Amino acid sequence: MLPQVPWPGLLAAAVLLFFAAAIGMEMRLDALGYQPTARDSQERWQAARARASRLGERALILVGASRFQLGLDLDVLRRETGLEPVQLALDGSGGEPILAGLANDPKIRGTVLVEYYDHTVGARGGVAEDMQRRHEKSSGRLRLWKRPAERSETRLTEWLHERLNAYADGANPWSSLRWRILPAAEARQYLVTRPDRSRLADYARVDMPDFYYRRVARTLGEEIDVKGPSIEALLAQRIAALKAEDNADFLAASREVGRMAEQIRARGGQVIFVAMPSSGMVREIERRRYPRERFWERFVAETGLPGIHSDHEPELRGYACPDGSHLDVRDRGRYTAALADLMKRKGFLAPDQGGTRQ
């Protein structure tokens, strides 16, 4: 039994009303300064990982976390090294599961830049482990079984999401409405994800110094009200009380990392560790918890791998991280060029990449 309703007209009116509301949302988000971005989705990471295998020795594979994603300019790396950069860094995750996967993949014969962060050496689990597991599962399947509908859906979704403000930086329209349009205080987008999975951070668009204090509190691993009185003094007091971490597990994990890297080097590849810059109280926390002589220097000694620590290289010093932990979009190009130049001069890259391999 059909309900006697003039459906064609009613549906057309509903569609028009819906589009009017969606366009209204887009215009409001635009007025608030939001812009469409790529989505750092699981599918995008998997595609990048597959590309890393395909590129062979031409690949410059970046493994790490947000400091690589925000701090390295892939276009500059491409220009300076002649290699094809592939961004595999994952926000909020240690890169070791990914490095282990690369070590076990016989197709990986290129250069691997690994973000060094003392506390992530030996870290397993989390997003990186999950991504690696999914990669192994999907690459184990025969090509025949890959699902055309899934592939087409990924492309269509990416195409649409990269054109609408409502999906900016991983949001969906509901979160955009709830957190970006409805709040009385004007929200501003400071991160833009690019299709190559790198991310641009414009810290001129965040509320300082609260944003910085929140990052310091997060690095301390504490929940502190950053709007409280004497926040600077309170944080300084907490930092002063920090003790150096024990390095026994760290050293064992370092040796394991060395073994992974050796597998890649045995195939003609290269593995280089890079500690990105940090600033202010964040750097002070890292120095106190992970003293250079007990962590970084022991790491380099145990693994025997080439490494660059931004704090210890004159060419890489002087880059201020506005939130204490990440480079601003205005600095990433210069920093990346300086890093590439240093890698070449130190001989970490092969001769045809502008260096003399160590």
Partner 1 sequence: MVFNSFTFLIFFAVVFGLYWLLPGWAARKWLLLIASYVFYGAWSPPYVFLLLASTFLDWWLARLIGRSADPRRRRWLLVASLAGNLGLLGYFKYGSFLLDNFAVLLASAGIAWQPVDAGIVLPIGISFYTFASLSYTIDVYRGEMRADSKFSDYALFVSFFPHLVAGPILRARNLLPQIAAPRRPTLNEVGWGLALFCFGLFCKVVMADALFAPVVDEVFAAPGKFGAADTWAAALAFSGQIYYDFNGYSLCAIGLALCFGYAFPDNFRHPYAAVGFSDFWRRWHISLSTWLRDYLYIPLGGNRGGAWRAGRSLMLTMLIGGLWHGASWMFVLWGGLHGFYLWAERLLQRNGAVAPDEGRQRLRQVLTFVVVTLTWIPFRAPDADTALGILAGLFRSGLPPMLDLPGLAAIAAMIFTVAWHMSMRERRFEPVIAAWGKSRQLATVTGCLAAMYLFSGGDQRAFIYFQF
Residues lying near partner 1 in the complex (CB under 8 A): 1-8, 10-11, 13-15, 17-18, 21-22, 144-145, 147-149, 152-153, 156-157, 160-161, 166-167, 171-174, 177
Between 7 and 358, whose beta carbon lies closer to partner 1? 7
Task: Give the phi and the psi of residue 60 in degrees, each rounded to 5.
Answer: -120, 100
Radius of gyration of the CA atoms of the chain, in A: 23
Buried b (16+ CB within 10 A) or exposed e, 334-358: ebbbbbbebbbebebbbeebbbeee
Task: Give the phi and the psi of residue 170 in degrees, each rounded to 5.
Answer: 85, 0
- Least distance CB 172 / partner 1 (angstroms): 4
- Least distance CB 224 / partner 1 (angstroms): 22
Query: CB neighbours of 312 closer than 8 A, spacing ≥ 6?
Result: 292, 296
Residue 22 in tokens: 């969606």
- Least distance CB 89 / partner 1 (angstroms): 22
Calpha distance 304→7 (Å, rounded): 73
Task: Give the phi and the psi of residue 253 in degrees, each rounded to 5.
Answer: -65, -35
Which residue do the tokens 């976390």 mark? 65
Residue 24 in tokens: 């209204």
Residue 303 burial by Cβ neighbours in a 10 Å radius (0-12, 13-18, 19+)? buried
Sign of CA dihedral 318, 301, 62, 137: negative
- Least distance CB 10 / partner 1 (angstroms): 6
Between 32 and 177, whose beta carbon lies closer to partner 1? 177
- Least distance CB 174 / partner 1 (angstroms): 4
Task: Give the phi and the psi of residue 351 in degrees, each rounded to 5.
Answer: -55, -40
Between 15 and 208, whose beta carbon lies closer to partner 1? 15
At residue 200, the 3 state secondary structure works out as strand
Query: CB neighbours of 338 closer than 8 A, spacing ≥ 6?
Result: 315, 316
Between 59 and 171, whose beta carbon lies closer to partner 1? 171
Between 137 and 243, whose beta carbon lies closer to partner 1? 137
**Amino acid identity, position 175:** S
Helices 280-289 and 231-240: crossing angle in degrees, nearest 10, is: 20
- Least distance CB 20 / partner 1 (angstroms): 10
- Least distance CB 18 / partner 1 (angstroms): 4
Between 32 and 236, whose beta carbon lies closer to partner 1? 32
Residue 215 in tokens: 């990052």
- Least distance CB 198 / partner 1 (angstroms): 21
Between 20 and 244, whose beta carbon lies closer to partner 1? 20
- Least distance CB 27 / partner 1 (angstroms): 15
Please name which of 102, 335, 111 lies closest in space to residue 201, comparing C-alpha atoms.
335
Between 171 and 308, whose beta carbon lies closer to partner 1? 171
Between 145 and 314, whose beta carbon lies closer to partner 1? 145
